[in-house]
Structure 1
Amino acid sequence: MKAPLYNPNGEQIGEIELKEELFGIEPNLHLLWEITRLYLANKRQGTHKAKTRAEVNASGRKIYPQKGLGRARHGDVKAPIFVGGGKAHGPRPRDYYTEIPTKLKRLSLLHSLADKAQNGRILVIEKFEFQVPKTKRMAELLDKMGLNKDKTLVLSADYNKNLYLSGRNIPYCDVIEVKDVNSLEVLNHKYVVIEKDGLEKLEKRLAI
């Protein structure tokens, strides 16, 4: 399996071999669904809350006598049956966080990258050369690589401040280090552009 290789100016200069035993596996879609559900759940604040009848700010007096009017029996206006009353069995604050096993994180990353590779959506660049931050140059580079303003994940081999600053103001581009990537980031973008040195680091990480 191969991926296109580009020089720092965004010109294709050939192809690079991707390890078949890593990028050639059959993507497990159910695994990707399950891990995505967990990642998204872990992002939730869980601060949702509705007031119960005990928490609603209103009078606690009985609205009319129990007997004699021929109407249904009621207590105060805070009962859930009334508009403006408390909510019965409403949402309460809770923690959605679930610890994701390291093995599952690695496996899901492997399968998400395999899916991208098999659909021709992994591109490799020799090196990102940004002496100073330049958003315009970054946008031109991605456009020259034929990405057409589609959502793109840029993976740098190491921390590159100029690269990060060049890409952070482009709405369809996200820049992170290879060591920080996970399957949710990969699946959330159409293309993955990775530095050549970063690809080697990624393959070592996935081969463990």
Structure 2
Amino acid sequence: MEVAIYNIKGEDTGRKAQLADEVFAIDANEHAVYLEVKQYLANQRQGTHKSKERSEVSGSTRKLHKQKGGGGSRIGDINSPVLVGGGRVFGPRPRDYRFKLNKKVKSLARKSALTYKVQDNQLIVIEDLNFEAPKTKDFINIAKNLKVDGKKVLLVLPSDNKNVTLSARNVPDAKTMVASNLNTYAIMNSNAVIITESSLDCVNKL
């Protein structure tokens, strides 16, 4: 599959980039994408939530009144969950939300996500970027030229580029990522995926 390569002015350079069909034109698997996104979000959870149960609440363990003969319901100590200030029944406990996903499923999910972006015309290939200094205005101008300003943008770079990363950092909904670290969530969470020309070698081998 061939797509046009644009420059930073948003103009077609007349050159074509080759996208691997086995990455960008597969039979997309929606369930694999769902599983990969679910795993990514689960891995972000700290799992440190905790509420006090009956045995952990600070309070007297004295029985409030006798079991029988009072004309009321039976009741134990003041830490009972049915009383104000008592413990919580089946409250959250610290746990690990991570779960395993096979490498083949994760690979299929990434390829499916990239295929969806191509089908939705949300993938753009541009010439390599080289900022002399970090400048947010330069990144904003490129986004405007490519008509993706105001959208969630994911810029894929061949390697860590400090000037480009710093230039995009203050732009709302803009994110940069090294091609080797590309994941399904980042792709699906963007409205436009911009891939630099040098990044394609890595992306085509995902």
Moved over 4 A (4+): none
| Corresponding residue SS for 1:155 | strand
C-alpha distance in 1 between matches for 2:85 and 2:68: 24
TM-superposed deviation, 1:13: 2.2
Structure 2 letter corresponding to 1:13: T
Say if 2:151 is the partner of 1:150. yes
Please provide the CA RMSD for this pair: 1.5
TM-superposed deviation, 1:30: 1.1
C-alpha distance in 1 between matches for 2:35 and 2:56: 37
Q: TM-score, normalised by structure 1?
A: 0.93
| Corresponding residue SS for 1:69 | coil
**Partner residue in 1 for 2:12:** 12
- Deviation readout 1:176-207 (Å, 9 max, x if unpaired): 11011101110111110011110121102x2x
Mapping for residues 172-187 of structure 1, pairs under 5 Å: 172-187=173-188
| Corresponding residue SS for 2:194 | strand
Say if 2:43 is the partner of 1:62. no
* Uncovered stretches (5+) of structure 2, i.e. residues with no partner: none
Q: Among all aligned residue pairs of Structure 1 and Structure 2, give the percentage whose two residues are the same amino acid.
A: 39
Aligned positions, number: 205
TM-superposed deviation, 1:112: 0.5
**Partner residue in 1 for 2:86:** 85
Structure 1 letter corresponding to 2:170: N
| Corresponding residue SS for 2:151 | coil
**Partner residue in 2 for 1:192:** 193
Farther off after superposition, 157-166 or 63-72: 63-72
| Corresponding residue SS for 2:34 | helix
C-alpha distance in 2 between matches for 1:29 and 1:17: 25
Structure 2 letter corresponding to 1:176: M
| Corresponding residue SS for 2:84 | coil
TM-superposed deviation, 1:85: 1.1
